[in-house]
Amino acid sequence: TGVIRTALHNMDREAREHYSVVIQAKDMAGQVGGLSGSTTVNITLTDVNDNPPRFPQKHYQLYVPESAQVGSAVGKIKANDADTGSNADMKYTIINGDGTGVFSISTDKETREGILSLKKPLNYEKKKSYTLNIEGANTHLDFRFSHLGPFKDVTMLKIIVGDVDEPPIFTMPSYVMEVYENAKIGTSVGTVTAQDPDSANSLVRYFIDYNTEEDRYFTIDASTGTIKTAKIFDREETPWCNITVAASEIDNPGLVSHVSVGIRILDVNDNPPELTREYDVVVCENAKPGQVIQTITATDKDNSANGARFHFSLDEGLPLNPNFTLRDNEDNTASILTRRRRYSRTTQDIYYLPVLISDGGVPPLSSSSTLTIRVCACERDGRVRTCHAEAFLSSAGLSTGALIAILLCVIILLAIVVLFITLRHSKKEPLIISEEDVRENVVTYDDEGGGEEDTEAFDITALRNPSAAEELKYRRDVRPEVKPVPRHHPSPSLDSIDVQEFIKQRLAEADLDPSVPPYDSLQTYAYEGYRSEAGSISSLDSATTHSDQDYNYLGDWGPEFKKLAELYGEIESERTT
């Protein structure tokens, strides 16, 4: 076998890392005539941490503008290490200097650089430079080579702060102001102040960012920063407002800074107290004097400073209430008590009790509320049995079934009355309008008869003449669509009347008349007819002279005319005599 050993002491990888060695092997123990072979062996030296880190410079200088943002990286620094891999890992720290509280440093493991960051804002007007001592040290040490150390290095970094035109800075990070509710428009709330941090100290202009509705409730003086109200506030509706005020330099309006302003609306005693809710107060019929029937409480929309203490009382302007009284419990509650015993629903079922409530604000406010107290029937233990009106009827001995029966009877009677009235209104009037119907004339005689004098009592020709009736009758049941043409006929003489022809004529007219209804119609004509052969037996026909007629022929007419024949036979015999 062949063993390769180092021939030099303290070989340095950083000086030479790779070596090539040619190895030859011979047989026959190296004798002449033996055979040989050769090969090349490449040797690489591995790294050990035997080189400490070193900064290229002992002094560095860095420029950082004062406008740099907190948390941002403002610079980098790096120490060199000849080793590789983990042997070259290092950590950077700030060991001293006046900027330890303003700056911080971290290590980038990939590039092995120190990253300098800003911890606090810079202000050129307050401090123009900072000095830092930065140390870079290996994190993996090999104690075999500790005598080569120390394995760290230190450098000094000077940071120059650059002057930048900055926006105005408010004297406070936020403001809290107060204003009373109901204050007049234009009331001053408070003042905000901002200054230009630059050496130029430019003038500042103020304005409100109108981003929300609340921002429009206020105005601000552009020069002084005084905030004023633009509306009248009600604390019960808007107890707090938040606005944003901006400030900018007049010379450079693009540089703007903002601040939050909270405005608290202070309370004024402008709301009277009132009952917490609508109370349903009940008093039992068997209540005793001094019995508490209800405890009431009040509330106030104002805050506790203007409404924490309430006082309850009855209205002193009214006469003393004989039924109920009120007791102030002095804990913002009051009790309603009875003054007498025995309440009756039949006498009075509802009572009203006015209650006056006042608060302890400045100035004190009061309001009046009216309690409605119902009288109810209660059990012996005080539980309410009923407060409804049917309890009164029950006490009179009427059950619910009886009430329903009475109600049904009343409804039926009303229906009958309505039906009767309807039928009376719907009764039809006569179909024919006529001021005088000659066929219905009835003459009533109250005496026993006047003999021959009756001949002039009534004109018989009115009954014997059909043309005496009205020429045209109108029906009441149908409104004619076509107005009928009046028909005029010559009045025939009494002896030339033909009743049969007259009726046929009227029938034809009714059939051809378009104004008559389509259903049957009845028209009646009264006519006594022609003279009979026997002649008239009425005394009306013998007007002024005595008749010489012979009435003996009446005996030949049969038994029906026997009495009449005897009567006229006696008259005839008297005449002869």
E strand intervals along 109-255: 113-118, 129-138, 152-162, 169-170, 174-180, 188-191, 194-195, 204-208, 218-220, 226-229, 240-249
- Main-chain dihedrals φ then ψ at residue 416, nearest 5 degrees: -65, -45
* AA letter at 281: V
67 with 132, same domain: the answer is yes
- Main-chain dihedrals φ then ψ at residue 121, nearest 5 degrees: -65, 150
Per-residue confidence (pLDDT) for residue 469, from 0 to 100: 45
- Main-chain dihedrals φ then ψ at residue 142, nearest 5 degrees: -110, 110
287 with 218, same domain: the answer is no
195 with 150, same domain: the answer is no
- Of 356, 386, 416, the domain-final residue: 386
- Grouping H, G, I as helix, E, B as strand and the rest as coil, residue 562 is helix
Q: Which of 225, 230, 221, 227 has the alpha carbon at shortest distance from 183?
A: 230
For the domain that residue 229 is a member of, what is the CATH number? 2.60.40.60
211 with 175, same domain: the answer is yes
Pairing type for strands 36-44 and 18-26 reads antiparallel
305 with 369, same domain: the answer is yes
Under 8 Å between Cβ of 169 and 184: no
- Of 386, 415, 448, the domain-final residue: 386
Q: Which of 140, 86, 80 has the alpha carbon at shortest distance from 114?
A: 80
Q: Residue 512 contacts by C-beta under 8 Å, 6 or more apart in sequence?
A: none
The answer to whether the Cα torsion of 28, 30, 36, 42 is positive or negative is: positive
Residue 545 falls inside a structural domain: no
Cα-atom radius of gyration of the chain, to the nearest Å?
Answer: 68
Buried-state track 25-34, b at ≥16 Cβ within 10 A, e below 16:
eeeeeeeeee
Residue 68 falls inside a structural domain: yes
Under 8 Å between Cβ of 136 and 111: no
Q: What 3 state SS string does 280-340 have?
A: CEEEECCCCCCCEEEEEEEECCCCHHHHCCEEEEECCCCCCCCCEEEEECCCCEEEEEECC
pLDDT (tens place) for every residue of the chain, 577 residues total: 788 888 888 888 888 888 898 988 888 877 787 888 889 999 888 888 888 899 999 999 999 998 899 999 999 999 998 888 888 888 999 998 888 889 999 999 889 899 999 999 988 888 899 999 999 998 888 888 878 878 889 999 999 998 888 889 899 999 999 999 899 999 999 999 998 887 777 889 999 988 777 778 899 999 999 999 999 998 888 889 999 999 998 888 888 999 999 999 988 888 888 898 999 899 998 888 999 999 999 988 877 665 568 889 998 888 888 999 999 998 889 999 999 988 888 888 899 999 999 887 778 888 889 999 999 988 877 788 888 654 444 444 556 778 888 999 999 999 999 998 988 877 655 545 445 544 445 555 555 555 544 455 445 554 455 554 444 454 444 445 544 545 545 555 555 557 778 778 877 887 787 776 665 666 666 656 655 565 555 555 554 445 556 677 777 787 778 777 777 765 555 555 4
Residue 39 falls inside a structural domain: no
Token digits of residue 344: 């009756």
Pairing type for strands 333-338 and 292-299 reads antiparallel
191 with 243, same domain: the answer is yes
119 with 136, same domain: the answer is yes
Q: What predicted TM-score, i.e. pTM, was given to this entire model?
A: 0.44
Its domain, for residue 358, covers 274-386
* AA letter at 222: A
245 with 311, same domain: the answer is no
348 with 374, same domain: the answer is yes
Per-residue confidence (pLDDT) for residue 268, from 0 to 100: 85
Residue 420 falls inside a structural domain: no
204 with 178, same domain: the answer is yes
Token digits of residue 306: 């203007």
Residue 560 falls inside a structural domain: no
173 with 154, same domain: the answer is no
Distance CA 314, CA 130 (A): 80
Token digits of residue 484: 């009928």
Residue 281 falls inside a structural domain: yes
Residue 197 falls inside a structural domain: yes
280 with 372, same domain: the answer is yes
- Of 322, 353, 386, the domain-final residue: 386
Domain count, the chain: 3
* AA letter at 67: S
Buried-state track 340-355, b at ≥16 Cβ within 10 A, e below 16:
eeebebeeebebebeb
Q: Residue 204 contacts by C-beta under 8 Å, 6 or more apart in sequence?
A: 168, 194, 195, 196, 247, 248, 249, 250
Distance CA 104, CA 565 (A): 168
Residue 238 falls inside a structural domain: yes
